[in-house]
Structure 1
């Protein structure tokens, strides 16, 4: 007798999708600070233990949901022109967080992140190092401090300043440093 073949996605993917939609709807309706795991589970039509098992708490869930569209497995820019690649990457991040729901989720997830590095930060660090390549022209900390930090700061505190030229200005400043 052969082992059962696992379907890619399947029920767990459907559950995850329904949870993500539920979180987004609830944040739009009530604000991120009022989203709880029991509310999400009820809206998604799943048992709260399914949500707790994956995330543990609402802050972790919100942070993860905020970043899921920036899939860490997606194709990253790799043209051989570091400046162009960093600008393309930063523009993708800006476009993602110009969407009010993504910004709201980032704000709520970041506010309660504590002292642990968030999944969002880990993913951006990994992506940045993949873009700069080996030998690294910039360190992960230089990328975070010079590019990601200012972008996230503006998403949280100055969202109206997320213009199309911001990535160009930040990348040029980073590369001059």
Structure 2
């Protein structure tokens, strides 16, 4: 079903997507889609979660500060892009119970865990994952959703710098 959504979105545009059109492309009846997802928005939410999944582990740049800054810049770039904002909206709109939003949050947590674990393996001091979420990811997501101006690599680096303190700025 996800493939059908992606193909049709590329061919006819997101605004033209309908459950019957997607079902036809997937070779199922519309009732199959409704039974599984409930409505179009829930299906789009499910597809968006998969599109927001990172493709690999965060890069290793030699130390915690560099690893986190590079990851934060990439995260912000992807999430603040028009596609990233659209997927985020889809995740939130089609997910009244919050399960898909939780899956997206888990993706960020997994990426940050890799960075924090690398720091520990190098005997570097690093904040815990929740502190990174609160200081870096949460402000980015707020700005992406509600105040998207000025979102660039410098903003991501400033957030990381504030988290790590004057010695790492």
Structure 2 gaps, min length 5: none
Aligned-residue offset at 1:61: 3.4
Residue 86 of structure 1 is aligned with which of 30, 45, 68?
68
Between Structure 1 and Structure 2, the one with more helix by share is: 2
Alpha-carbon separation, structure 2, partners of 1:29 and 1:59: 12
TM normalised by structure 2 equals 0.71
3-state SS of paired residue (1:165): helix
Matches within 5 A, 1:1-177: 16-23=2-9, 28-29=14-15, 37-42=19-24, 44-47=25-28, 48=30, 51=33, 55=37, 58-114=40-96, 116-117=98-99, 118=101, 119-133=103-117, 135=120, 137-176=126-165
Classify 1:39/1:18 alpha carbon distance in 2 versus 1 (closer, same or farther; 3 Å): closer
Structure 1 gaps, min length 5: 1-14
Measured against aligned partners, the alpha-carbon deviations of 1:90-137 in whole angstroms (never above 9, x if no partner) come to 111122123313212212322454453521111111111111116482
Aligned-residue offset at 1:64: 3.8
Alpha-carbon separation, structure 2, partners of 1:120 and 1:26: 27
TM normalised by structure 1 equals 0.69
